[in-house]
A and B are shown apart, each in its own frame.
Chain A
């Protein structure tokens, strides 16, 4: 089963929108270890995949282990403080305060959630279209 329920083009469109909302930079350098998402993002004109966290604008994380690794790296390397974390599971969003938002499936529905306080830390102001998906706390 593929990790994204929507077909590739729609999925890419969703993530391009989300990532563009999180960073003003173009192209957006995205770090992800997930092979399937790599296969989706490689077709994007806005997103460039990177293996290096230092170069990445956004780290897109799908596994708890990866999140732990990235958090560890962020602690070690102060340059990574500006790295924005975005996850594909609700529990990963809950796991760390460093995670800004998540896009996931719940009860058969596609969901998107951002934590307002965490976004503010990164001085991120989301476009109006995402306001309905922004919460103060979980």
Chain B
């Protein structure tokens, strides 16, 4: 059972048990009442029989007959005596004299029998009622009585006139006996109620303890801001995209601790938090994510992010802290973001803000930055789940950028460039800068490479007239799985393998040339070519040309761009590369030909092959097939 339903289940169970206990109590009580009612009804029937018998014996004239016949008195007293049991304490017959006083006519008791016509009650309204209404009444004996539970006062009526009253007293012991009839069950019910009540008290106590524990976990003791744990809980109950997120980091805070004291540093943090509370909208959530780092969540309805961030930065920048005659200025850096719609995880937001914060710190701190759309794309497309989903749904494709032969002005080759297709907008292609670093070295990277290689080979197979180059990182080629994937496909598509070029890019300096040469040999086993990408930048240097069997040199874009900024020097460098390529019998490709002027300069230099947005941007292969 899910944890969140468990609490509700326990509460529902206890409520059910409470209801059951009450139901049991009410049932038991009503069962006891029913028992009593049955007993009273039985007594009423006895009273009716006795009254009938007395009427019969006295011909209806009770008082007259008894006055004139002591024998009859005796007989009837003995008759009444037979009814005296544990159940009936007293049975007697009363007569109302002309003054309205009730006097004994008959008495079933033997030991303390009352004399004939002794006064019982001088006056009694209740007895009068029975006398007048001629209707039996049950008197619950509670006050000024001894050993009695209740009395049945039954009118002896003859020819429409009340002649006497028969009183049947039920003993207190019998009442107790009836009450205790269900007492074992009642005891169980009481015990249940005690246990349930104790359970509720225990639950309340535990709930209180849980509340205290939560408070400790969710609130930072020093600043009273929330803790990191709260962040997760907050987003379980709120939509992330309803908020702005701001990350505040205190610049050089350790100096405060060092110069003044840790105690003073703590005081500063407290004041800082209250300053933030004062200057931000009321519903702002403040979370202390690290010692000197605070994460703010501000509802979007509170205003514009730019205004809020600027206002907060200005307030904190101008804030002067005064403690024990010490004047302290504490600068802060803030990175802020308008959390984009459909953002599911706050972790990515935190990561992006962290990265932005690092950027601010590197730029000299004491500043703020609000993340733009590109950064938002980074969040969306940099989400590993998003990438995984794209690969699972095979939304990984290749776009192709044409490489032209300047002499013939025709397309001779294409460079395959990997893209992910946006989930919501299939016309939008996501470039590797968003996701490549996130998956490099993972199984997702292999998965993506597999899809790219298979895609490229199937294009080559379908179009026998074209050549395609694909980018591989030398580090990838050193990976066994990756190399296995490439060589297996080279073998599988060996008939078209000669029309593929592997553009090798190296981020690290090569130390083991024999190993790299071995890898290149493996790539070229079915006639594939190997190109050296970004030649002239980073580690990709002349030394490669000495140690490795290279077919193509792709000149680094920065060198091509410099034809516009430093034409003379750039021309000299490019000419030297051109000469070198010619001597080594290596093809030369100029990349990043982005406009006509560069195109003309490259053409004048006589570089054989060109590639760039001016000649054709990366597009689906079908867009170029007609131009071949």
Contacts and interface: CB of A to CB of B under 8 A. Distances in A.
Interface stretch (B5-13, B140-148, B345-353): B140-148
A135 B102 CA distance: 11
* Residue of A105, A106, A113 with most partner-chain B CB within 10 A: A106
A110 interface: yes
Contact of A132 (B119, B123, B145): B123
Contacts of A105: 146
Interface string B112-153: 001000111111000000000000000001001111100000
Nearest to A134: B122
B163 interface: no
A136 to B, nearest CB: 7
B169 interface: yes
A109 B144 CA distance: 6
Given A132-B123, A133-B122, A134-B122, A108 B147 contact: yes
Contact of B119 (A5, A6, A109, A135): A135
A107 interface: yes
Interface string A100-138: 000001111111010000000000000000001111101
B92 A6 contact: no
A90 interface: yes
* Residue of A107, A109, A110 with most partner-chain B CB within 10 A: A107
Interface in B58-92: 89-90, 92
Nearest to A136: B99
Interface in B170-226: none
Nearest to A133: B122
Contacts, number: 44
* Residue of B119, B147, B148 with most partner-chain A CB within 10 A: B119
A111 B121 CA distance: 8
A108 B146 contact: yes
A110 B144 CA distance: 5
B122 A132 contact: yes
Given A135-B101, A136-B99, A109 B145 contact: yes
A6 B122 contact: no
B101 A108 contact: no
B258 to A, nearest CB: 81
* Residue of B89, B121, B122, B141 with most partner-chain A CB within 10 A: B122
A132 B124 CA distance: 8
Contact of B144 (A6, A133, A134, A135): A6
Given A6-B144, A106-B114, A113 B120 contact: no
Interface in B561-618: none
Contact of B90 (A5, A108, A135): A108
A111 B141 CA distance: 14
A104 to B, nearest CB: 11
B487 to A, nearest CB: 108
A110 B145 contact: yes
Nearest to B117: A138
B361 to A, nearest CB: 87
A90 B146 contact: no
Contacts of B118: 90, 138
Interface size grouping (class) on chain B: 20 to 34
Contacts of A108: 89-90, 141, 145-148, 169
Contacts of B122: 113, 132-135
Interface in A15-49: none
B144 A107 contact: no
Contacts of B148: 108-109
Nearest to A114: B122
Contacts of A132: 122-123
A15 B511 CA distance: 121
Contact of A5 (B89, B99, B146): B146
A113 B119 contact: yes
Contacts of A134: 122
Interface in A62-109: 90, 105-109
A134 B146 CA distance: 23
B92 A107 contact: yes
A113 B90 CA distance: 21
Contacts of A111: 121
Nearest to A14: B144
A138 B147 contact: no
Nearest to B122: A135
A57 B101 CA distance: 30
Contacts of B169: 107-108
A116 B101 CA distance: 14
A105 B123 CA distance: 16
A110 B142 CA distance: 11
A110 B148 CA distance: 12
A108 to B, nearest CB: 4
Contact of A107 (B90, B119, B123): B90
B81 to A, nearest CB: 14
B30 to A, nearest CB: 29
B120 A106 contact: yes
Contacts of B99: 135-136
A106 B144 CA distance: 11
Contacts of A133: 122-123
Nearest to B171: A108
Contacts of B121: 111
15 contacts: A107-B114, A107-B120, A107-B167, A107-B169, A108-B90, A108-B147, A108-B148, A108-B169, A109-B145, A110-B145, A110-B146, A132-B122, A132-B123, A135-B99, A135-B122
Ordered nearest first, which 3 A-B pairs have the shortest CB separation?
A: A110-B144, A132-B123, A5-B146
Interface of B: 89-90, 92, 99, 101, 109, 114, 118-123, 141, 144-148, 167, 169
Given A109-B141, A136-B99, 17 more contacts: A5-B146, A108-B89, A108-B141, A108-B146, A108-B148, A108-B169, A110-B144, A110-B145, A110-B146, A113-B119, A132-B123, A133-B122, A133-B123, A135-B101, A135-B119, A135-B122, A138-B119
